[in-house]
Amino acid sequence: LSDRLSGVFERLTKQGALSEDDVKTALREVRVALLEADVSLPVARDFVKAVQDKATGQAVTKSVTPGQQVVKIVHDELVHVLTGDEDPGKLKVDNPPAPILMVGLQGSGKTTTTAKLAKRLKEREGKKVLMASLDVNRPAAMEQLQILGVQIGVDTLPIVKGESPVQIAKRAKTQASLGGYDVYMLDTAGRLHIDAELIQQAAEVRDVANPRETLLVVDGLTGQDAVNVATEFDDKIGVSGVVLTRMDGDGRGGAALSMRAVTGKPIRFVGLGEKMDAIEEFHAERIAGRILGMGDIVSLVEKAQETIEAEQAERMMKRFQKGRFNMNDMKMQLEQMQKMGGMEGIMGMMPGMKKAAKQMENAGIDESVFKRQVALINSMTRKERANPQILQASRKKRIAKGAGLEVSELNQLLKMQRQMADMMKKMGKMGKGGALKQAMK
């Protein structure tokens, strides 16, 4: 995709904002990429439409092409759509014994995932876990879980031949209570395809156990069929999250996007191999990068934006060292602060601002104040911005009125700017290097 995109945009030399045509051309390619990654058609269509609305009119960063910029926007939107749970790796296992029900098609990785999650719960949260296999169909399925249990040091419910899944679930529940377990996990049987009997069985087990979590295990290589599977299971059984397995293979992860978009269920974990440690909580960025297959472009665009910010900071630093700090600088500072969500960000970028930022924070200056101050600066003329000392009463009145604010607020802004200019002058005198760094601490 990245090759195709750069081809499309080779002829495009203009900079500035993304035009509707730029965006459309790039998104045609993105749509193909989504379909190639097994995203279902309606989901891909909706997604592209949403991105189109967002991207048109956005400013293009100086050192990247419009095509790369669109990809970045697409990537960010993918991450946005894929992100479901704030903390996908946190299973709800309070109120012991907490039941976890594992459902999914045969061979999707339920038994393996059951053991992987049990190991995680035991090792990371110190939980005492009991695992039970309800798979009465497949020969040796119960033994498979038992063997994994021994391997990871987690108890399994003793095997009793001839019981029904519901009977096993009941016995697991009793055993979990009596044995003082924090969690019990029910590994159900699957089928090659969804059928009424499978669903019926899972529903009965659900009613017996009343699970805190019902995790649907889906093979990440399944592709589009995953949407039907997820929809069906969620409608009939109710699902609290999805585990996407076999993401160590060459599946692109398009199923994840489709399932998330159609069912709204969060992806919670990703299986990355057959080993018991090969599972991690879901990271939207990783899947987004995979779906697009172009992590490098995304990081390139991010880098370009960083570079520009760093260049800006350096230019300002030079001005400050000469003792210059007018309203243009002030505005840039204020906007930077707003963008970075407050004082913290600016501190990292400009060590010299640390003290001033602290003072402002102590004085109770918040985001809305930034916005009003920027509005004040915006209603100044160029001359006034460059030389704020020329502001007399009549000019002040005009500026305040232009911003719809009081003169007192403008005075506050002027005071702040003078203080900062003073500080910059002092720092400038100390010169570059050690002394300056020292003073900033």
Which residues, numbered 277-296, are part of the site for ligand GDP (CB under 6 A)?
278
289: amino acid identity, one letter: G
The stretch near Mg ion (CB under 5 A) out of 54-62, 110-118, 257-265, 428-436 is 110-118
CB of 152 to ligand GDP, least distance (A): 14
Residue from 52, 65, 108, 111 touching Mg ion (CB under 5 A): that is 111
Q: Does 61 bind ligand GDP (CB under 6 A)?
A: no
Which residues, numbered 220-259, are part of the site for ligand GDP (CB under 6 A)?
245-246, 248-249
Q: Does 274 bind ligand GDP (CB under 6 A)?
A: yes
What is the DSSP track for 12-69? ----SBPPHHHHHHHHHHHHHHHHHTT--HHHHHHHHHHHHHHHTTPBPPTTS-HHHH
**Secondary structure (3-state) at 187:** strand
C-alpha–C-alpha distance, residues 213 and 165, integer Å: 18
C-alpha–C-alpha distance, residues 169 and 216, integer Å: 18
CB of 198 to Mg ion, least distance (A): 13
Whether the CB-CB separation of 301 and 70 falls below 8 Å is answered with no
- Cβ count within 10 A of residue 45: 14
The stretch near ligand GDP (CB under 6 A) out of 27-35, 150-158, 202-210, 265-273 is 265-273
Q: Does 156 bind Mg ion (CB under 5 A)?
A: no
C-alpha–C-alpha distance, residues 162 and 167, integer Å: 10
- Cβ count within 10 A of residue 42: 12
HEC-encoded secondary structure of 350-399: CHHHHHHHHHHHHCCCCHHHHHHHHHHHHCCCHHHHHCHHHCCHHHHHHH
Residue from 89, 273, 293, 351 touching ligand GDP (CB under 6 A): that is 273
Residue closest to Mg ion, measured at CB? 111
Instruction: Give me Rg for the CA atoms of the chain.
Output: 29
Q: Does 190 bind ligand GDP (CB under 6 A)?
A: yes
CA distances in angstroms from 146 to 26, 156, 232, listed in the order given: 52, 6, 30
Comparing CA positions, the residue from 61, 71, 62 lying closest to residue 3 is 71
396 is in an annotated binding site: no
Choose from ligand GDP, Mg ion, none: what does 109 bind? Cβ within 5-8 Å by kind.
ligand GDP
Whether the CB-CB separation of 107 and 221 falls below 8 Å is answered with no
107 is in an annotated binding site: yes
C-alpha–C-alpha distance, residues 138 and 148, integer Å: 16
CB of 282 to ligand GDP, least distance (A): 13
The stretch near Mg ion (CB under 5 A) out of 111-119, 207-215, 232-240, 367-375 is 111-119
Size of the site for ligand GDP (CB under 6 A): 19
104 is in an annotated binding site: yes
Q: Does 112 bind ligand GDP (CB under 6 A)?
A: yes
Q: Does 149 bind ligand GDP (CB under 6 A)?
A: no
Q: Does 271 bind ligand GDP (CB under 6 A)?
A: yes
C-alpha–C-alpha distance, residues 132 and 96, integer Å: 16
127 is in an annotated binding site: no
CB of 146 to Mg ion, least distance (A): 12
Residue from 25, 56, 83, 106 touching ligand GDP (CB under 6 A): that is 106
Residues flagged as binding site for GTP? 104-111, 187-191, 245-248
Q: Catalog residues that contact Mg ion under the rule CB under 5 A.
A: 110-111
Residues flagged as binding site? 104-111, 187-191, 245-248
Q: Catalog residues that contact ligand GDP under the rule CB under 6 A.
A: 104, 106-112, 190, 217, 245-246, 248-249, 271-274, 278
